[in-house]
Amino acid sequence: MKLSIWIVLALCALTLASTPAQAEADLKLPRERVTLVAPPFVHPHEQATKSGPKIIEFTMTVVEKPMVIDEAGTKIFGTTFNGSIPGPLMVVHEGDYVELTLINPAINTLMHNIDFHASTGALGGGGLTQVNPGEQVTLRWKATRAGVFIYHCAPGGSMIPLHVVSGGMSGAVMVLPRDGLKDEAGRRLHYDRVYYIGENDFYVPRDAKGNFESFAEASDYFPKTLELMRKLVPTHVVFEGRVGALTGKDALRAKVGETVLIVHSQANRDSRPHLIGGHGDYVWETGKFHNPPLRDQETWFIRGGSAGAALYTFRQPGLYVYLSHNLIEAVELGASAHFKVDGQWNDDLMKQVGAPQPIPSATALQAKPK
């Protein structure tokens, strides 16, 4: 079975080689070149557009490097798109064409490719994008479905999960409807800010003393990680590649009255996002924008191998914790982030009526068990 994917990849490459050049000449559309930015931020884009379809050009470079994933300085051998965990969020509109140039520099050691869940055919493009160190390839596909979708490296066999759990070899594409997001009644929805949160699970071996080992080379990291990940018990579950990546000085910012779109992806495992002190006003749990959004959600579900989106208007200032409501993963393994929200407090929504104080003696006596 492990060989079958390589046969499919080879057939896909042959198909590409036999595609008539006329198809390229017939596609006469305006082009727009977009520079990607590292998550949690997202490149500038229109939420709705009146223009016709375009070819949107992106470039991503595969970066292999050691990545620190926790406060203790634990390092994994990182395989990443553009050097970030997760890879960047790409935004286009339904009917546009995504044209990606994928670069695998000669200093790398591994073959890579990319599988877009939003695309159609050739293993999501994985069969047409195999690049060895020192090579690059350009793939174009049409965005025919609106929503948020993951992409990831899928080089074949055990290397598929190994690449994904070794860092940022996954990311997301957001395909917006041309007339923008809408609620269940078809009314237009708008966001003031958008953040992309990529969730990753890591499987880091421990030494004889029980401490996490650190790795700089794939040849050291991969064999031990392969053995550990087959047990399906992660050592770290994190947002943006490391424990605490979106907390403290790196917390996500917003203001009271602002509407924030949160895109959340998980390439490998299920997740249950929850915003403590807030809600999902509108939630596309499966990430597909032509489906009516769920309303007023407390916790939503992101299936492994997919992305979802939630829209929330902040109503109170202060600290909000955004986490996986598998609380073990959030508290013990790292899957949590912070929003810091500026603005005026609203006593009507919440007020501490009485500060903590000693229990009156009479009440305390009554509360004693008999």
User: Could you identify the residue written with the tokens 């923008």?
Assistant: 180
Residue closest to 212 by CA, chosen among 73, 80, 66 = 73
Catalytic machinery residues:
112, 115, 117, 152-153, 163, 169, 274, 298-299, 325
Q: How many CB atoms lie within 10 A of CB 253?
A: 13
| 284 CB burial (10 A radius; 0-12, 13-18, 19+) | buried
Distance CA 75, CA 85 (A): 13
Q: What letter would DSSP give residue 302? A: B
Other CB atoms within 10 Å distance of the CB of residue 68: 15
Of 200, 202, 194, 147, the C-alpha closest to 171 is 200
CB atoms near residue 111 (< 10 Å): 17
Q: Which residue has the tokens 């979106």?
A: 246
